[in-house]
Amino acid sequence: MKGRLSWICHGPTRANREGRFPDDEPLEAKATERIQLTSSRLGTVDRAWTSPALRARQTAAAMGLDATTQPSLRECDYGRWQGRSISELHETDPEALSLWMLNLNAAPHGGESLSAVFARVGDWMNGHIDDGGHTVVVTHATVIRAAILHVLQAPSSAFWTIDIEPLGVVEMTSDGRRWQLRFPNAAR
């Protein structure tokens, strides 16, 4: 194994709890305790990256990581849907919501398409395939799901079958030629 990459989803926010598209909201006050439990499992970290979003930067800081902000790891730009609930969109704009979920090239919200997120994340991963040591990335569920699709070379429709919770951790390794998913032994 040449390098290890730990993807960590930012801590819980009000938008998570309320089923809303995220805005640049802070972490919930009760998140700190859970963040400390997550960070205790990481071991030695050689480098850390974070999304520019406040909730990701707060999570990295609470973990004690000296993380570099990386725009490629940002959340999807949900345009005019930011801050709106999915249930509200089901009521007010069901056609646009359906289009967005069925056509990953579509951006009916005026922001970024999911296929653009997939390309951005894949490019970032390809640029870091030779990194040795342990890298930690604090980012968003959407970005982590895109990373998993990239590793598995799965169809983009599989995006909707992956669930990443706040503070969820996904491990990957690289031998310098390819990325692999890694499922570490919980007893280590």
In a domain? residue 188: no
Residue 101: what residue type?
M
Biggest CA–CA distance in the chain, Å, is 50
State pLDDT tens for residues 159-187.
999 999 999 999 999 999 999 999 887 65
Q: How far apart are CA 33 and CA 49, in angstroms?
A: 21
Residue 112: what residue type?
E
What is the count of structural domains for the chain?
1
Are residues 85 and 20 in contact, defined by beta-carbon separation less than 8 angstroms? yes
Q: What 8-state DSSP symbol labels residue 157?
A: G
In a domain? residue 12: yes
In a domain? residue 13: yes
Rounded to 5 degrees, φ, ψ at 47 are -155, 150
Task: Report pLDDT for 36.
Answer: 75
In a domain? residue 129: yes
In angstroms, the Cα distances linking 86 to 19, 143, 178 are 6, 19, 36
State pLDDT tens for residues 87-141.
999 999 999 999 999 999 999 999 999 999 999 999 999 999 999 999 999 999 9
Q: Residue 57 in 3-state DSSP?
A: helix
Flag whether pLDDT at 188 surpasses 60: no
* Helix locations, 4-156, DSSP H: 14-18, 31-39, 54-62, 86-92, 94-102, 114-127, 141-152
If you average pLDDT over every residue of the chain, what do you get?
Answer: 94
In a domain? residue 187: no
In a domain? residue 157: yes
Q: How many CB atoms lie within 10 A of CB 71?
A: 9
In a domain? residue 163: yes
Instruction: Average the pLDDT over 65-89 and give the result.
Output: 97
Sign for the pseudo-dihedral over CA of 123, 56, 20, 18: positive
| The token pair that represents 188 in the structure block | 């280590």
**Domain that residue 143 falls in:** 3-182
CATH number reported for the structural domain that contains residue 115 in this entry: 3.40.50.1240
